Amino acid sequence: MLIKVLLLVAIAVVVVLSLRAPAGARHLALRRVSVIGFAALAVLSVLFPDAWNAAAAVVGVGRGTDLLLYGLIVVFLGYMVTTYRRFRHLESQITQLARRLALDEVATELRAADTAGEARLPDVPPGPRDVDGAVGPAAATDPAAPDATVPGAAARPGPAA
């Protein structure tokens, strides 16, 4: 039956799309376009309720409502998967935030052990390499730090210049 093929292909597409990394702006644009498409379909269904029955007959499903239900299941699956992806992304952001907090809390200990002797460094610790803007305000928060130029500070990945 045609409907089986269509539904299986749709599910496969959803799964494949979900496994690919979302491509930022393009991904967002696709989301918006599909929302508009969804709205347009809804409007058309209201205006021409019989269209679903006709479409159902074409693909070999009993009634229009059944077709609608099948479609809904596929869309829901897609929604579930994209939501999971967004959740994972959010989780990685929280992780970076929590890690930064945790390391900052022991910044003094980490520094004391690291540069034993050069205790008086500016109070903003170097962040992990991949955290954006981790050391941005180093100079701003401590503009008067006279020892910002000691070797230990120069070796750190900060915007010294």
Partner 1 sequence: MADNADTCLVVPLYNEGAVVGDVISDALTVFPRIVVVDDGSADASAEIARRAGALVVEHPLNLGQGAALQTGFDAARRLGAEYVVTFDSDGQHRTEDALAMVQRLRDDEADVVLGSRFLDDRTRPGGVKRAVLKAAVLYSNLTTGVRLTDTHNGLRALNATALGTIRIRQNRMAHASEIIEQIGRSSLRWIEHPVHIVYSDYSRSKGQSVLNAVNIVTEQLYR
The single-letter code of the amino acid at 14 is V
Q: Is residue 19 near partner 1 by the rule CB under 8 A? A: yes
Q: Is residue 20 near partner 1 by the rule CB under 8 A? A: no
The answer to whether 128 and 100 are in contact (CB under 8 A) is: yes
Minimum gap (Å) between residue 32 Cβ and partner 1: 23
Q: Is residue 50 near partner 1 by the rule CB under 8 A? A: no
Q: Is residue 83 near partner 1 by the rule CB under 8 A? A: no
Minimum gap (Å) between residue 16 Cβ and partner 1: 12
Per-state percent for the chain, helix, strand, coil, to nearest 5: 70, 0, 30
Nearer to partner 1, 26 or 88 (CB): 88
How many of the other CB atoms lie within 10 Å of CB of 107? Answer: 14
Angstrom CA distances, 143 to 9, 12, 64, 138, stand at: 61, 57, 70, 8
Q: Which segment (24-32, 39-47, 92-100, 143-151) binds partner 1 by CB under 8 A?
A: 92-100
Q: Is residue 110 near partner 1 by the rule CB under 8 A? A: yes
Angstrom CA distances, 132 to 33, 97, 127, stand at: 31, 11, 9
Q: What is the phi/psi pair of residue 38, to 5°?
A: -60, -45
Residues that bind partner 1 (CB under 8 A): 18-19, 81, 84-85, 88, 91-92, 94-95, 98-99, 101-103, 105-106, 109-111, 113-114, 125-126, 128, 130
